[in-house]
Structure 1
Amino acid sequence: MSGMDADVFAEVKDAVRRLVREVVVPREEEIDLDDRIPDELRSAAAEMGLFGYALPEEHGGLGVSMSEDVQLAFEFGYTTPAFRSLFGTNNGIAGQVIARFGSEEQKKAYLPRLAAGELIGSFALTEAEAGSDPAGLRTTARRDGDGWVITGGKRYITNAPIADLFVVFARSDPQEKGGRGISSFVVDATAPGVTVGPHDKKMGQSGAWTAEVFFDDVRVPADALIGEEGRGYAKALTVLSRGRLHIAALCVGMAQRVLDESVAYAATAKQGGAPIGRFQLVQAMIAETHAELLAARSMVLDVAARYDSGEDTSVGPSSAKLFCSEMVGRATDRAVQVHGGLGYLRTTPVERFYRDARLYRLYEGTSEVQKVIIGGALLRAAGMPKP
């Protein structure tokens, strides 16, 4: 993917950085306490084109490459994850399924409105018994006349309470097992039989809403099917891979923020009349985070370049997601330690990031699942037969 003109992209990145640091950062505590993104921040994001930065240019997006995507994610990651979450599903897992696999009619119908922020798209894959592995997927889609009837429930669905449309994954062939026989559909959130539960109370990432979604004999027309019947899970894997690399970059942004907070605090907070930064063990914590942050940033940029060239669109993103999500967990933990008792108080940014960071090791494939993907792929490449 070629991406944008370099000068234009530099302007976009600068504008995003200013928006994040000057407009969103001062309102983080309010977002955390109110558990919602203020409407004016949503409007500002839409005006800047953030609801469609990763969607194709011909359909109203900015059409960034993966290398550009991760650079924007470094900026988004610097503030509360809820801000990016608001437009993340449009650019990522929901929007990308339509952009990559949808018919021309579907692209024209949905992508311009997703890119403009007029519609919020939501990606409905996860279920109670089907998280990182689709084998337990219970939601079904059965043919009915010239359409389909979808029945089942989904869990932890980001943006579900504010979604206008769902990209739903359902088993369309009950004879098939595992990832086979799963199809994807566009389902209008207002369709009869669609119910969204109350939004979940989570440990962190307040303002980023997730909820259960129920599909009770929801009828959709034939043209709701995205791409080829029975190939839905392969589509999900393709877009999840891009999403994993994006998450890795968000982790880099958060690590940069907590490092900045730690350095600023250590340079000024005093114990015994001298700044705590004079203590070598405090310097050691700061140094460890800095070294891991540099490694993570370089890794993400390198993996993104190889994603764009087509050289590696699976194992690299999984490794980046694994390393960066574990890295930011260590970084936020050290940041709380540097702040001492203050780091445990709710009004301190590092306390909030400590809670926010924990989710990164779970969603879009847990750390354990990434290890299985990486290990399995490397061993299969060496000729080890599948079980």
Structure 2
Amino acid sequence: MSFRSALSHVLSSTIEPSAEETGARGRFPRASVTALGEAGLLGLTVATDLGGGGLGLTEAAEVVTDVSRACPATGAVVRSHYAAVAFIEAYGSHWMRRKVAVGLHLGTLALTDADDAGTPGAAPSPTGSTATRTGDVVALRGRKRDVVGAGEADSYIWSSPPAHGGKGPSLWLVPADAPGLFVPARPSGDGPRGSGTSTVYADPVLLPAGALLERDGEADGLLSTVRAWLADVHRGGRIAHRGARGPRTRLTARPGPR
């Protein structure tokens, strides 16, 4: 079955029938997310050898657009998930990528510091989030606003200044059950009603140093491209990224064994 056929089935059987209630009650669309996972759509951009769809963010944008038309909340969740998966697929472990591929892991983004005046996805404020490394443990502190699926996602892509030097941001894979991660009971964000958009707190979050994605302070490249994709999908368009693999929209080229 093609991803378009799978999407059409999930839209008609699950997302469309529950969209009105999701918006009216502000209830997270868990059934819709589960159905997308079971149909292979949460793993659309993961490599085929892990059970994923092996497609790129061009196809992901198509899914987001169609889902958003039916249910804005579910569309926002899937949009953030695909953006998070771009980082997981590029830099994450084989085990984590496999979980995403089979639809058992929902990711999201925690990129914008609560005291930033810019748009969601902007570079982290130098006076906001911090990362302090002591031996093999990193302490993340800060508040991230407009996090879609806060308290519902299985992991967060968290941005911070580098723990040790460097000019660019660092990105961390923060599991939802990480000690010190706090999500308010009531969502407080600008996302569609039901999307679980809220501020997420790290006070602090303690992680192994291996939770770092890419090298410390060197996440600008993929981060910039994903932000461009997010902005383009938000406008309802498509982005064609021309990278090392040529014109195909693939943001998931792996840098080699970790």
Instruction: Report the TM range for the smaller structure's normalisation.
Output: 0.7 to 0.9
Structure-2 separation of matches of 1:215 and 1:204: 21
Shift in alpha-carbon separation, 1:218–1:42, aligned structure 2, 3 A: closer
Pick the aligned partner of 1:240 from 203, 209, 227.
227
RMSD, aligned CA: 2.9
The yes-or-no answer on 1:15 pairing with 2:6 is: yes
Query: Which of these residues, 183, 191, 207, is aligned with residue 178 of structure 2?
Result: 191
Of 159, 162, 169 in structure 1, the residue corresponding to residue 152 of structure 2 is 162
Contact 1:51 1:88 in 2 (8 A): no
Matched, 1:224 2:211: yes
CA distance in 1, matches of 2:187, 2:30: 20
Query: Residues 145-294 of structure 1: matches in 2 within 5 Å?
Result: 145-172=135-162, 180-200=167-187, 205-249=192-236
1:78 aligns to what SS in structure 2? helix
Identify if the C-alpha distance between structure 1 residues 66 and 88 changes in structure 2 by more than 3 Å, giving closer, same or farther: closer
Rounded to whole Å, the distance in 2 between the matches of 1:115 and 1:247 is: 24
Letter in 2 for 1:53: L
Counterpart code for 1:36:
R
- Amino acid corresponding to residue 134 of structure 1 in structure 2: A
The TM-score, its normalising length taken from structure 2, stands at 0.81
Cα distance in 2 for residues equivalent to 1:32 and 1:146 = 43
The residue that corresponds to 2:67 in the other structure is 76
**Do 1:160 and 1:209's aligned partners in 2 also have CA atoms closer than 8 Å?**
yes
- Deviation per CA, 1:154-205, whole angstroms, max 9, x where unpaired? 11111121122221111125876xxx24211112221221111234356772
Count of residues in correspondence between the two structures: 245
Residue 86 of structure 2 is aligned to residue 99 of structure 1: no
Verify: 1:122 aligned to 2:113, yes or no: no
Matches within 5 A, 1:308-347: 309-310=246-247
Contact 1:50 1:87 in 2 (8 A): no
Is 2:31 the partner of 1:29? no
Asked if 1 retains the 8 angstrom alpha-carbon contact of 2:242 and 2:249, the reply is: yes
Q: Which structure's CA Rg is the greater one?
A: 1
Question: Do residues 54 (structure 1) and 45 (structure 2) align?
Answer: yes
3-state DSSP class of the match of 1:128? coil
Highest RCO, 1 vs 2 (Cα 8 Å, sep ≥ 6): 2
Cα distance in 2, alignment partners of residues 118 and 238 from structure 1: 26
Confirm or deny: 8 A CA contact 1:123 1:157 kept in the other structure. Answer: yes
> Percent identity among equivalent residues?
25
Q: CA 1:49–1:226 in 2, change beyond 3 Å: closer, same or farther?
A: same
Paired amino acid for 2:133:
R
Structure 2: tracts of 5 or more residues without a match: 251-258
